[in-house]
Structure 1
Amino acid sequence: MTFEEFVAARLGALIRYATVVTWDPDLAEDVVQNVLVRAQPRWSRIDRLEAPEQYVHRMVVNEFLSWRRRRRARLLHHSEALDGLVAPLPDPTGQYDDRDAVIRVVSTLPPRQRVVIALRFYEDLSVEVIADQLGCRVSTVRTHLDRAMTTLREALPAALAQMGEPS
Structure 2
Amino acid sequence: MNSEAEAEFRRFVETRWQHLVRTAVLLTGDQGRAEDLVQQTLVIVHRKWRSIEPGATMAYARAVLANQSASWWRRRRHPEVLIASPGDELPGSAQAGRDAMAQIDARDELLRALATLPPRMRAVIVLRYYDDLSEADTAEALGISAGSVKAQASRGLDRLRTALTTLETGERIR
Normalised by the length of structure 2, the TM-score is 0.75
| Matched position secondary structure for 1:50 | helix
Deviations 1:103-159 (A, max 9, x none): 211111111111111111111122222122111122222222122112122221231
Cross-structure match for 2:124:
116
Deviation of 1:102 (Å): 1.7
Cross-structure match for 1:92:
98
The size of the alignment, in residue pairs, is 154
Q: What percentage of residue pairs aligned between the two structures are identical?
A: 35
Cross-structure match for 2:24:
18
| Matched position secondary structure for 1:2 | helix
The answer as to whether partners of 2:21 and 2:34 remain within 8 angstroms in 1 is yes
Question: CA 1:147 to 1:12, structure 2 compared with 1: closer, same or farther past 3 Å?
Answer: same
Q: In the TM superposition, what are the counterparts of 1:123-134 in structure 2 within 5 Å?
A: 123-134=131-142
Deviations 1:55-114 (A, max 9, x none): 111111111112233x243553xxx221xx69x8xx723343323222211111111111
Q: In the TM superposition, what are the counterparts of 1:51-90 in structure 2 within 5 Å?
A: 51-69=56-74, 71-76=75-80, 80-82=81-83
Q: Does 1:36 align with 2:37?
A: no
Cross-structure match for 1:159:
167
| Matched position secondary structure for 2:54 | coil
CA distance in 1, matches of 2:47, 2:165: 48
Q: Any unmatched runs of 5+ in structure 1? A: none
The answer as to whether partners of 1:61 and 1:115 remain within 8 angstroms in 2 is yes
CA distance in 1, matches of 2:134, 2:78: 29
| Superposition CA RMSD, Å | 2.6
Q: Does 1:8 align with 2:9?
A: no
Q: Any unmatched runs of 5+ in structure 2? A: 1-6, 88-96
The answer as to whether partners of 2:29 and 2:112 remain within 8 angstroms in 1 is no
Cross-structure match for 2:144:
136
